Amino acid sequence: MTRWQVFILTVFLMILTSEVIRPADLRPPIPERYRGLKNPLAQGEKNLQSGEWLYDIHCSACHGGNLEGNGPEAGGFLPPPANLIALITAVKPPESYLFWRIREGGPGLPEAWKPWNSAMPVWKEELTDDDIWRIILYIYEAAGEGSSPHE
């Protein structure tokens, strides 16, 4: 086992045995400008299909077709791409969190989280805000959560 794997396993075990860490503590705080944003798009079939198509093109290489962070390009990243199924079902982030992370990518992380050195691309120049919201609709649907949670 590599040092990095030992470190990740240690942190994971510490989190599992800790009573003071809540799911919200496992993610960086949402910047004020993104906090409270709501998806303006309806969860209709057209938006879900568009979201799936956009996800397949822009996200699946890293996050995988099954959204579990195991896409064909995932192996080269530390930290690895997020398992979106686990993120949505266990951590239950608000949709504004996903919008911010997709739009701003790794460079958009607060300074305290920069050591994680996320390779998440910045998509705000390539995807419209509506495209990002469609991807979010698809992610929640594919994770079995249907509509996204309240803030």
CATH number at residue 101: 1.10.760.10
State the Cα–Cα distance between residues 108 and 118, nearest whole angstrom. 10
Overall domain count for the chain: 1
64 located within any domain: yes
Q: What is the pLDDT of residue 35?
A: 92
- Amino acid at the residue 17: T
Whether 3 maps to a domain, the answer reads no
Is the residue at 149 inside a domain? no
Whether 51 maps to a domain, the answer reads: yes
Residue 1 forms part of a structural domain: no
Give the model's pLDDT for residue 99. 96
Q: What is the structure's pLDDT at 147?
A: 63
Residue 47 confidence (pLDDT): 96
Domain hosting residue 86, numbered range: 37-142
Question: Quick one: pLDDT at residue 28?
Answer: 73
pLDDT of residue 53: 98
pLDDT of residue 150: 43
Q: What long-range pairs does 109-117 form, CB within 8 A, spacing at least 24?
A: 109/28, 110/28, 110/29, 110/31, 112/28, 113/28, 116/79, 117/78, 117/79
In a domain, 124, yes or no: yes
Q: What angle do CA 114, 120, 121 make, to 5 degrees?
A: 115
In this prediction, residue 4 carries a pLDDT of 77
The whole-number pLDDT of residue 48 equals 96
Instruction: Compute the residue count for the chain.
Output: 151
* pTM given for the model: 0.77
pLDDT at residue 20, rounded to an integer: 45
In a domain, 82, yes or no: yes
- pLDDT at res. 41: 95
Domain annotation covers residue 132: yes
Q: Which residues of the chain have pLDDT under 70?
A: 6, 9, 11-27, 108-117, 147-151
What angle in degrees, to the nearest 10, is found between the helix axes of 129-142 and 95-104? 130
pLDDT of residue 115: 60
